[in-house]
Structure 1
């Protein structure tokens, strides 16, 4: 990845003086320390982007599939409630990245000049990075990945039929604890069945719909545990925040109790990052976490995804069992058990 343009880091000379309080340092030493802190932040920014971006890309796929249970119109105020299990397959190509000494301005590899390290989706393999802050050595292990080939988590989804063959959809999961990470998603959408305008389609049990929705995903990972003689830096956890706007079209055909569905999804996601968790002890001298979060704005990004979707649904009375496969850059599966509360009021032809 090309290195981002390095912006000068402004830290008040008074803060640096505090950082080195109790030590006899010359003006030159203070200037060197200022430069070193700027370089350390540059390295943290570089590593953050490489490490967490695959997870935020994956989060988009995890939240994108399973919105539409069926393009078929619901009855007015008919409610469906479902328990979904989402299973994401972590691709091999996004589990590691290479680093070399030339990538860093503060740290260097303790052994060798280059290494392969895990992304947030990768293994628990680690290497040591070393540097010097002032006259004090700094040594840390690179962060581990989740070390899981598949990532599974549950969430709840409900929908209610409205007027004009429109449907309100909502999904929510509590903060799910995964291996070395946490994940949470919530969202809301509107679906409209436009096959209502084509009488022949309905007579042949063919249904077409469009859906627009918004979802928010948060995924967090254990990050860099950096200890120095001046205190811990407080960047033990990094969180990706993903705001996704989604549009999709779906079509289906009913065969008795079975319904086969296909769809196409396009979405755009605004991705932001911040280091979180307890602040480091260095905060008594320098607001390091705040400074790094400001620098992380340099790697904010917007991404557009095009995703295909295939599904098979089986109805048993008021229950439905459904499997969905979403595919594109990643592969994501969704399995759900749904229950429909039949409404006595029939869908009103409007």
Structure 2
């Protein structure tokens, strides 16, 4: 939706609000608009580091081996993923000059946590129709590492192709939740080069589609019109991933390295229980329309190294993905 259309939607909503609250001044409606703009600005800086990190968490460990699989061979693995939160993405600075409605209580600037940060908070204050609005800034997850388990399975298809599926249940974080699922296709290239197969060198390509959903407790704003109901903020990520891996087998051990390129589309929505203000103005709908202004598309290039050890039909594997962030993955797999 174009910006002009968004503004029209907002104005129509305000007019509806005006019909039900005729005693309120045009300044009240203007203040609500400023409040929403401040919420958008804060949301962007607060959640973007977490959605960037979610891409790395979902990228690693998809290719357990570039070896060619036999038709209908099945592998099932339990994976544990550990993401290391970098210090640079745990906080950001806000200034009074950034806002059109809120001001920082007792200060002109402050450092506040991102969704990946600690639990420190500052108070933001504003005036809505003569009533002071006072709220705490949202907390971060306050974790130096983020752990989540997931299941991954694969089945061998025709012509050296393999289908893969990944699924995690919703993992509870401090002040939030994380979930990822997706599917992919791998194709072995070394089957076309007998010299590589003779030296136990494997080469394969992979294409993957995955969805990540990361959500956090956001802000609750009580007003004389009731709660504004924007206490949950979700980052929704759709990722297409392309990957090439090579490996060398040494008896029961396989050493792998790969390069990953992925493109992700980021969307943001507020949710949770709707506030009383929804009786007179569809605030969540308006805010979600405005959040379209900060939708993003990003491309990442990620390196990956891995080691896989075979014990009969059981495989132990560790993976490290690196680039802007560092992500690690350990799994136990069984080949049927």
> Do they superpose with TM above 0.5?
yes
Please, which of 224, 243, 252 is the counterpart of residue 248 of structure 1?
243
CA contact (8 A) 1:18 1:285 kept: no
Distance 2:176 2:265 in 1: 21
Structure 1 pair 280–297 and aligned structure 2 pair: CA distance change class (3 A): same
In the alignment, is residue 48 of structure 1 matched against residue 49 of structure 2? no
Please, which of 284, 293, 300 is the counterpart of residue 305 of structure 1?
300
Which stretches in structure 1 are left out of the alignment for 5+ residues?
342-350
CA deviations 1:42-93 (Å, max 9, x no partner) are: 0000000000000000000000000000000111100000000000000000
Partner of 1:236: 231
In the alignment, is residue 331 of structure 1 matched against residue 293 of structure 2? no
Partner of 1:104: 99
For residue 12 of structure 1, report the CA deviation from its aligned partner.
4.2
For residue 270 of structure 1, report the CA deviation from its aligned partner.
0.4
Segments of 4+ moved more than 2 angstroms: 11-21
Which stretches in structure 2 are left out of the alignment for 5+ residues?
none
Partner of 2:16: 15
Task: After TM superposition, list the pairs within 5 Å mapping 1:233-312 onto structure 2.
Answer: 233-312=228-307
Structure 1 pair 13–332 and aligned structure 2 pair: CA distance change class (3 A): closer
CA RMSD of aligned residues (A): 1.4
CA contact (8 A) 2:13 2:282 kept: no
In the alignment, is residue 200 of structure 1 matched against residue 195 of structure 2? yes
Structure 1 pair 19–334 and aligned structure 2 pair: CA distance change class (3 A): farther
Distance 1:234 1:145 in 2: 19
**What TM-score do you get using the length of structure 1 for normalisation?**
0.92
DSSP-derived class of the 1:293 partner:
helix
CA deviations 1:144-197 (Å, max 9, x no partner) are: 000000000100000000110100000001111111110111100000010000
For residue 131 of structure 1, report the CA deviation from its aligned partner.
0.3
Aligned length: 331
Please, which of 69, 76, 99 is the counterpart of residue 74 of structure 1?
69
Distance 1:18 1:94 in 2: 45
Distance 2:305 2:14 in 1: 59
For residue 225 of structure 1, report the CA deviation from its aligned partner.
1.1
Task: After TM superposition, list the pairs within 5 Å mapping 1:221-232 onto structure 2.
Answer: 221-232=216-227
